[in-house]
Structure 1
Amino acid sequence: MSDSPNKPLRVEDSDELHRVIAEHDRVLVDCYTKGCTLCQAIEPVVGNVARATDATVVMVNPGNDLSLVEEYTIRSVPTLLLFEHGNLVGRMADGFQGTDAVVEFVDRTGK
């Protein structure tokens, strides 16, 4: 499926996340935690990215499913993971990034 929603999807656990990754060609995953101010600040950015790119944007709190922390080596939040056809092709874990930087990351990574 290549149609991507124009706003981020929220998933609760690894099963839901894996299902979305399998169903969409390009998926940007925003790993966040509750109470993280940088995570709150980047939330509107990933909303903009969902509208500006063909990627499906997904938000997941790895604290709800700790297997995600190990599976994707999440050491800080926010961490953005980019998947193409089910494969992890990029990672951005540099703290807050603006819309332009994240759109550029999605557009240049994996193509």
Structure 2
Amino acid sequence: MKSSFNKIIDSQTPVLVDFFADWCGPCKMLAPILKQVKEELGDAVKIIKIDVDRNQPLAAKYQVRGVPTMLLFKSGKQVWRQSGVLQKNEIINIINSN
């Protein structure tokens, strides 16, 4: 997972990573919001979901202590981070400003 993750985030296209867990209520609320973000922005952003229970080393590397936690990467560098649920327009504004 680690090498493919690094390939994915090392992109000119912004990559929004959603660290989530199946048992997390707010994560379930965020999923349809991220779907709307992807529908609106299309190829201008990549959105990937990382299950913290299945990818503990990756979650530890990025010090994800609560879910949902979103990280935005551009060219392999983390440019933004937020825990909790945000609304579609907030997420779109953050992606567009980075």
The two structures have a TM-score, normalised by structure 2, of 0.87
1:51-88 residue CA offsets vs partner (Å, 9 max, x unmatched): 22211010111211211122111011100100001111
Identity %: 23
What is the total number of aligned residue pairs between the two structures?
96
1:26 to 14, 22, 31: 14
Please name the residue that 1:106 is paired with. 95
1:18-41 residue CA offsets vs partner (Å, 9 max, x unmatched): 232135521000110011110001
Unaligned stretches of 5+ residues in structure 2: none
1:39 to 18, 24, 27: 27
SS in 2 for 1:28: strand
Q: What displacement does 1:49 show?
A: 1.4
The two structures have a TM-score, normalised by structure 1, of 0.77
Q: Given that residues 9 and 15 in structure 2 are in contact (C-alpha distance below 8 angstroms), is that contact kept between their aligned partners in structure 1?
A: yes
| Greater fraction of residues in helix | 2
Q: Which amino acid aligns with 2:25?
A: T
Q: Which amino acid aligns with 1:96?
A: V
Superposition RMSD in Å:
1.5
- C-alpha distance in structure 2 between counterparts of 1:96 and 1:78, whole Å: 7
Please name the residue that 1:83 is paired with. 73
Please name the residue that 1:8 is paired with. none
